[in-house]
Amino acid sequence: MSGTTLEQFKYDNTIVKYFGVATIAWGIVGMLVGVIAATQLFLPEANMGNPYTTFGRIRPLHTNAVIFAFVGNAIFAGIYYSMPRLLKTPMWSKALSWFHFWGWQLIILLAAVTLPLGITSSKEYAELEWPIDILIAVVWVAFGANMIGSLIKRREKHMYVAIWFYLASFVTVAVLHIFNSLALPVSFFKSYSAYAGVQDALVQWWYGHNAVAFFLTTPFLGLMYYYLPKAANRPVYSYKLSIIHFWSLIFLYIWAGPHHLLYTSLPEWAQILGVVFSVMLIAPSWGGMVNGLLTLRGAWDKVRVDPVLKFMVVAVTAYGMATFEGPMLSLKNVNAIAHYTDWIVAHVHIGGLGWNGFFTFAMLYWLWPKMWKTNLYSNKLATTHFWMGTLGIIFYALPMYVAALTQSLMWKEFTEAGRLAYPNFLQTVIQIVPMYMLRAFGGLLYLSGVFLMVYNMIKTAKQGTFMAEEADEAPALKPHVAHDGEFWHRAWERKPVFFTVLATIAILIGGAVEIIPTILVKSNVPTIASVEPYTPLELQGRDLYISHGCVGCHSQMIRPFRSETERYGEYSKAGEFVYDRPFLWGSKRTGPDLHRVGGKYPDSWHYNHMVDPTSMSPGSLMPPYPWMADNIMDHSIVPAKINTLRKLGVPYPDGYEEEANADLMVQADGIVKNLKESGIAVMPESEIVALIAYLQRLGTDIKKTTASNP
Amino acid sequence: MEVIFVLIAISLILAGTFLFLFFRAMKGGQFDDNHTPAIRILFENKPNNKNKEVPSTKSK
């Protein structure tokens, strides 16, 4: 505008560089752990024979590293570069930026230490224990405050669509994280979920699905709306569409969680709710994909030569594929086939490797030359990386689809005589081992490509000069001329808003902590009279099961299909889980379901199976757990556990914590005696005894009822 | 299952917040112009380099 003075300011590139480097470093770590986990599925020796590197603990390490460390840092790098430029102001506070950076890296480091040690809440993508959860909330709020502060100081009145995506991501992830992480601590390293059984499952997947929605999708759509037009040097195809699909996407996504629990004990109406919203979601999702791809109309000649655009095209296409697959998998009849199989694993990796991974690579390939004021060192190398990555995705996904359908059909197949065609679960696993090998190869290929990128980026930085700060200028934002709704505008333009947001978050936390347990106390009335709380020894065994990540391969949820009741026993009922904190229904069956394993085998079978799975199931892919026979368990924490659970509403009698350990020893001695009869000598305090107690209890409560209880 | 009421409440609050923000943004004129913002982000300001030493690079 004429007559206004231009204000000078500087963008900070250093923080972007740090987040970018962290992205790659953690990306390599996360993918490497992924390749190890993939290898362990066909080569149990790759578990390396110690508790810290077995599949059960490596898998959550891989998911957390890739989601929160790799993708997380990429989001922050992308936002800290694009947001100031879109708002024509530096980030609000450098101190907050750096607090955010180091805080986030500390969280990742803590995750990398605690998860292999078996310190876990076992809730998928929210495995970290409560002290780290609190740290995450603090750092996340710092990040949000930094964004909102910048927003208030902006010199560009209009907020570009990417900003809307960033803000929605911040707000929603904060709320989700807080509510799903509500738990009562037992000690510094152990807590029990505020919810039990079906409730816990529902909250977990309300969170889990929205983690996909608001951590892996909306932030990246925001990045897409900035970096794709920049890289193509074309405005986005339809700005109107980007706005419409933003609002519709965030409205619909929140409700889709229950589609992770189809055919489980979750009430039917809640499942239907999830399905309906999931199916509707295809519209806004594809709105994003179409908008991204059509931005390139008239620029496809550039795609032929520019690796950045190549990566982006595949990323957006993968996003489209994954968001078509999602609604499809949410249809109950399709889900009946896919649930618990590798189809789900393939689906998330189309999203993870294709959408998040490839877009991150594209963004970094675009950012590095920009910040070092030079050209990319080698387009050829980047193109090679592109093809390695693309082949990696194909080698990953296709075998997984084949494996999933093979296994699912084998699970469900009956003979002419009406018996299971493959009664031995192991047959269905061994059948797909070649596919697991191909998948690991695909992952390795993908990871190898990343090393090319690292080399390329180092060389790019070497040939350029890093611009720590970039100067820009813009006129100050005109103070708003008041009209209707004047108060809100004025408030929005000033600091109070920021404090309001913080206050709201504080209120939400306080409110949640008080309201939820109050509401949930009622739910602790067992709906099945014979279902009782776990004994102290079983509780210890269950926590051991949680700590070793057994839920990563074994579900505890028998769906009401004949193929499942035939194989495992009576289907699972909601009332059976009222004392399960956290719930352990699982998402994937690499091994058989365990919900009715109690009483199926003698104690000695479990002992031998844990020490060497192949002794009981030749060809088993389960890692051996020989240390469980020798490790002595510390049972001194039991009274504290009983106390905590009683506070949460589990009906242990008053003062039971005094007797708990005596009861525990009685039950342990019984198991030791059983093992002795089979010629096995163990200490009653050993881990294996507690685990056997838990496994033998699983799913037996409803068997105690006679026919009087239909 | 009572927890679903909590989840629905939170989801409604969240959706309500988004709805409120949407109407505010509409009223505030955020979406009056659906054309220039898309183009504006492509411009890169080249401020006059009078107050900093720029490393000599071949600017593309």
3-state SS of A205-230 is HHHHHHHHHHHHHHHHHHHHHHHHHH
Evaluate whether A124 touches A583 at the Cβ level (below 8 Å): no
Render pLDDT for A70-105 as a digit per residue (tens, 0 to 9): 999 999 999 999 999 999 999 999 999 999 999 999
Long-range Cβ contact pairs of A376-380 (< 8 A, separation 24 or more): A376/A307, A376/A456, A376/A460, A377/A456, A377/A457, A377/A459, A377/A460, A377/A462, A377/A463, A378/A456, A378/A459, A379/A305, A379/A306, A379/A307
pLDDT digits over A149-188, tens only? 999 999 999 999 999 999 999 999 999 999 899 999 999 9
Chain A contact present for B50, CB below 8 A: no
Cβ B3–A203 below 8 Å, yes or no?
Answer: yes
* Among A226, A224, A217, CA closest to A249: A217
Identify the pLDDT of residue A645.
95
What pLDDT, in 10s, does the model give residues A326-363?
A: 999 999 999 999 999 999 999 999 999 999 999 999 99
pLDDT at residue A682, as a whole number: 95
Structure tokens at A594: 């365990």
CB burial of residue A687 (10 Å; 0-12, 13-18, 19+) = buried
Structure confidence at residue A496 (pLDDT): 43
Compute the nearest-CA separation of B12 from chain A (Å).
Answer: 9
Q: Each residue of B6-45: pLDDT tens digit?
A: 888 888 888 888 888 898 888 888 888 988 999 999 998 6
> Contacts of residue B60 in chain A, CB cutoff 8 Å?
375
Whole-number Å distance between alpha carbons of A665 and A332: 46
Dump pLDDT digits (tens) for A610-626. Answer: 999 999 999 999 999 99
CB contact under 8 A, B34 and A243: yes
Residues A1 and A477: beta-carbon distance below 8 Å: no
For the residues A583-596, what does the mean pLDDT come to? 96
Q: What would the pLDDT profile of A375-400 be if each residue is shown by its tens digit?
A: 999 999 999 999 999 999 999 999 99
A1-13 average pLDDT score: 81
Chain A interface includes B2 (CB < 8 A): yes
Q: Once rounded to an integer, what is the mean pLDDT over residues A561-577? A: 95
Identify the CA nearest to A546 among candidates A144, A48, A190: A190
* 8 Å CB contact of B42 and A86: no
Whether cis (ω within 30° of 0) applies to the bond prior to A582 is: yes
Q: In Å, what is the CA distance from A125 to each residue of A59, A68, A210, A216, A570?
A: 10, 9, 11, 12, 30
Helix axes A72-87, A94-114, angle to 10 degrees: 170
Rounded Cα distance between A647 and A652, Å, is: 10
Percent above pLDDT 70 for chain A: 92
pLDDT, tens digit, for every residue of A24-69? 999 999 999 999 999 999 999 999 999 999 999 999 999 999 999 9
Subunit contact B34:A161, Cβ cutoff 8 A: no
Length of chain B: 60
Q: Cα dist. A437→A246, A443, A450, A459, A585 in Å?
A: 39, 10, 20, 34, 27
Task: Report the distance separating Cα A613 and Cα A554, nearest Å.
Answer: 14
Beta bridge partners of A473: A8
The confidence score (pLDDT) of residue A254 equals 86
State the pairing for strand pair A183-187/A6-12. Answer: unpaired
Task: Look at A560 and A497; give whichever has higher pLDDT.
Answer: A560
Per-residue pLDDT, A536: 97
CB neighbour burial string for A233-253, b if at least 16 within 10 angstroms, e if fewer: ebbbbbbebbbbbbbbbbbbb
Q: How far apart are CA A391 and CA A383, in angstroms?
A: 12
Residues A325 and A347: beta-carbon distance below 8 Å: yes
Q: Tell me which residues of chain A, numbers 90 to 109, contact chain B at a CB-CB cutoff of 8 Å.
A: none
Chain B closest-CA separation from residue A160 CA (Å): 6
Q: How much is the pLDDT for A493?
A: 47
Secondary structure (DSSP) of A603-666: HHHHHHHHH-HHHHSTT--SPP-THHHHPBP-GGGHHHHHHHHHHTT--PPTTHHHHHHHHHHH
pLDDT at B5: 80
C-beta separation of A18 from A94 below 8 A: no
User: What integer pLDDT is reported at residue A151 of this predicted model?
Assistant: 93
Lookup result for tokens 């009822």: A705
How many degrees, rounded to 5, is the angle at CA A34 between CA A33 and CA A36?
65
Q: What is the mean pLDDT of chain A?
A: 92
Cβ(A544)–Cβ(A591) below 8 Å: no
* Per-residue model confidence as pLDDT tens digits over A445-487: 999 999 999 999 999 999 999 999 999 999 988 765 545 555 5
Q: Does A5 touch chain B (CB under 8 A)?
A: no
Chain A residues 356-385 with a CB less than 8 Å from chain B: 373-375
* CA–centroid distance for A463 within its chain: 38
What residues of B are in contact with residue A484 (Cβ under 8 Å)? 27
Cβ-based contacts of B58 with chain A (< 8 Å): 374
CB contact under 8 A, B3 and A254: no
The mean per-residue pLDDT over the stretch A589-608 comes to 96
Instruction: Compute the average pLDDT of residues A549-558.
Output: 97
Least Cα distance to A182 among A170, A172, A192 occurs for: A192
Inter-chain touch B10–A175, beta carbons under 8 Å: yes
Is A526's Cβ below 8 Å from some Cβ in B? no
Q: Please indicate whether residue A219 or residue A524 has the higher confidence score (pLDDT).
A: A219
- What gap in Å lies between CA A532 and CA A702, rounded to an integer? 10
A656 touches chain B (CB under 8 A): no
**Between A203, A254, A519, which is nearest B15 by CB?**
A254
Residues in A closer than 8 angstroms to B57, CB to CB, are 373-374, 464-465
Alpha carbon distance A571, A93 (integer Å): 55
**Which residues does chain A have within 8 Å of residue B53's beta carbon, measured at their own beta carbons?**
none
Instruction: Tell me if B42 and A270 make a contact (CB, 8 A cut-off).
Output: no
**Short-list A579, A687, A550, A593, CA closest to A632:** A687
| Average pLDDT, integer, range A505-524 | 54
Instruction: Tell me the average pLDDT across A210-221.
Output: 95
Helix, strand or coil, per DSSP, at residue A550: helix
**At residue A437, does pLDDT exceed 50?**
yes
CA–CA gap between residue A348 and residue A588 (Å, rounded):
13
Statement: residue A261 has pLDDT above 50:
yes
Q: Output the CA–CA distances (angstroms, integers) from residue A444 to A39, A386, A507, in the order listed.
A: 10, 14, 46
Best residue in B1, B5, B58 to probe A by mutation, most A CBs within 10 Å?
A: B1
* CB contact (8 A) between residue B31 and residue A243: yes
Decide the pairing of beta strands A6-12 and A469-475: antiparallel
pLDDT value for A1: 47
Mean pLDDT, range A320-331, rounded to an integer: 97
Instruction: Collect all residues with Cβ–Cβ distance below 8 Å to A21 and sequence separation of at least 6.
Output: none
Which burial class, exposed, middle or buried, applies to A529 when counting CB atoms under 10 A from its CB (0-12, 13-18, 19+)? exposed
- What is the spatial distance between Cα A66 and Cα A33, in angstroms, rounded to a whole number? 9
DSSP state, residue A70: I
Can you tell me the distance from the alpha carbon of A295 to that of A17, in angstroms, rounded to the nearest whole number? 28
**What is d(CA A125, CA A215) in angstroms, rounded to the nearest whole number?**
11
Measured between beta carbons, the chain B residues lying within 8 angstroms of A168 are 18
A473 φ, ψ (degrees, to nearest 5): -145, 150
Average pLDDT over chain B, rounded to whole? 77
The pLDDT assigned to B2 comes to 76
CB contact under 8 A, B47 and A8: yes
Predicted confidence (pLDDT) per residue in A334-343, tens digit: 999 999 999 9
Q: Between chains, do B2 and A520 touch, taking CB under 8 Å as contact?
A: yes
